[in-house]
Structure 1
Amino acid sequence: MTTNNSLIQSPEAIEKMRVAGKLASDVLVMLDEHVKVGVTTEALNQIAHDYIVNVQQAIPAPLNYHGFPKSICTSVNHVVCHGIPDENKVLKEGDIINIDVTVIKDGYYGDTSKMWIIGEGSIMAKRICDVAQKALYAGMSAVKDGAYLGDIGAAIQAVVEPERFSIVREFCGHGISNSFHHEPQVLHYGKKGTGMQLKTGMTFTIEPMINQGTWKTKILPDQWTAITKDRKLSAQWEHTMVVTDNGCEVFTTRPEEDLSFLTT
């Protein structure tokens, strides 16, 4: 498969994505002190919404996107992705939660998510959150000009499958720029040297969702919330990046992360 040159972003677009990506990561940093036992996911949604709109002077991309009713996604325990914040969903000791934030600033998007463990957490909770983050980093390490989309998926599989976790098939990373989702689709499994060839200036997310049990998912009647079919735990981390000549530049990195292993 050849590269679609229309996916290569201009320097001006990339600069706007740096700004949007930083804002998105700042929301996760801001939320950190609020993610704790006793808080509702709706309260987290309201805190994030107010911060994005009033402090950042930006737009929460999920709100009203194809009818999604909230400004962030909050996916707890066996929820894989697209969990809808709810005033009746109270975080409790041992829960794990993914919060997914996408911010629009000056017409461009920044998309990122991270996991929290509420309180101490089980050994399994810690393992799945850790492996999911390592899987993201492995996928990011495979990105550079001339690499292939399949290289990303293969790198993620090489981390996840030896740990006896499974990789969700129904959802994947995606191109992002001045629209929320566009080509390429970034699968989190694959074969080296296959798929679209990456070129400097392409922008997309990598966001592996990994499950404790089966990779199969089920959509709840709200038509958004995806859960693991066996109701075992799921974890996900996400970054937005641009392909560079030697690696990638991550737009959504947070201060606590050490991404020095990446070639930028």
Structure 2
Amino acid sequence: MIILKSKEEVAKIAKASRIVAESLEAVRAYLKPGMTTKELDLFVERQIRERGGTPAFKGYRNYPATLCISVNEEVVHGIPSPDKVIKEGDIVGLDLGAIYEGFYGDSAVTVAVGEVKPEAKRLIQVTEESLRAGIAQAREGSRLSDISHAVQSHVEQAGFSVVTDFVGHGIGRALHEEPQIPNFGPPGRGPRLREGMVLAIEPMVNMGKAAVRVLDDRWTAVTADGSLSAHFEHTIAVTKEGPVILSKL
């Protein structure tokens, strides 16, 4: 069942999402070559708590950290480690959630560390553009799969592949609510979008093939062919005036 939110509930999700956005922006500025992913995780947890939030991922299904940090060929759910060092030329996915007064916010960005190869820059750009394309379809009266189709079309026109193993989701009093939001599929299918829906739209895009595999830690997903991957996500509200991005500064 898709849970429609009141304006008061959307405001609380917006507050949680703003905590996520501000914390992600802080960690982007803090990130430097030579840091470990564990350092970044500890830093961002302080950012969330200083803003009155609680980390959403830590302890969720026994996930051990605040931040999912996915480097290069890692697609999503990379676990921070004191042994993993960020290097010049890496691309780093930062996926973060926060809770505020019982409501969740969720967002992700992929950042380039120093100078990266042109094809890596293009992958990041196309993935972010595909998120914008999906959000533009999140209008009252549209079908859910209109979002999915817009993402897939933009990605494949650029010659990249959409990950099909992981999807976006509804969000509110729980981190993952109905509906699931694939980043692929034909338009004009699924439930109609209505005011009060709050969605976390999150394209994951591979430079090579779409296939992924999960490592022995049971969390970290990597591209099966070793190609680079990028990930962007926003929490958005469907309103009569159009989509509103809640996790944008």
TM range (shorter): over 0.9
Please say if 1:62 is aligned against 2:57.
yes
User: Identity, % of aligned pairs?
Assistant: 38
Moved over 2 A (4+): none
Which whole-Å CA distance do the structure 2 matches of 1:119 and 1:150 have between them? 36
In structure 1, the gaps of 5 or more residues are: 255-264
Equivalent of 1:149, from 144, 149, 160? Answer: 144
Instruction: Report the counterpart of residue 258 of structure 1 in structure 2.
Output: none
Equivalent of 2:229, from 206, 229, 234? Answer: 234
> SS of 1:101's equivalent?
strand
> SS of 1:85's equivalent?
coil
In structure 2, the gaps of 5 or more residues are: none
Please say if 1:199 is aligned against 2:194.
yes
TM score, norm. by length of structure 2: 0.98
Please say if 1:31 is aligned against 2:27.
yes
Which whole-Å CA distance do the structure 2 matches of 1:66 and 1:143 have between them? 29
Equivalent of 1:14, from 10, 25, 35? Answer: 10
Which whole-Å CA distance do the structure 1 matches of 2:131 and 2:248 have between them? 12
Which whole-Å CA distance do the structure 2 matches of 1:238 and 1:172 have between them? 11
Which whole-Å CA distance do the structure 1 matches of 2:46 and 2:189 have between them? 43
Instruction: Report the counterpart of residue 135 of structure 2 in structure 1.
Output: 140
Q: In the comparison of the two structures, how many residue pairs are matched?
A: 249
1:83-109 Cα shifts (integer Å, max 9, x gaps): 000111111111000101100010001
The amino acid of 1:47's aligned partner reads F
The amino acid of 1:211's aligned partner reads N
Shift of 1:182: 1.0
> SS of 1:135's equivalent?
helix
Shift of 1:51: 1.8
The amino acid of 1:96's aligned partner reads I
The amino acid of 1:188's aligned partner reads N
> SS of 1:80's equivalent?
strand
Shift of 1:152: 0.5
Instruction: Report the counterpart of residue 212 of structure 1 in structure 2.
Output: 207
Whether the 8 Å contact between 1:35 and 1:116 is mirrored in structure 2 is no
> SS of 2:199's equivalent?
strand
Shift of 1:246: 3.6
Whether the 8 Å contact between 1:152 and 1:190 is mirrored in structure 2 is no
Shift of 1:57: 2.3
The amino acid of 2:79's aligned partner reads I
Equivalent of 2:99, from 104, 112, 119? Answer: 104
Instruction: Report the counterpart of residue 89 of structure 1 in structure 2.
Output: 84
The amino acid of 1:30's aligned partner reads A
> SS of 1:97's equivalent?
strand
Whether the 8 Å contact between 1:208 and 1:236 is mirrored in structure 2 is yes
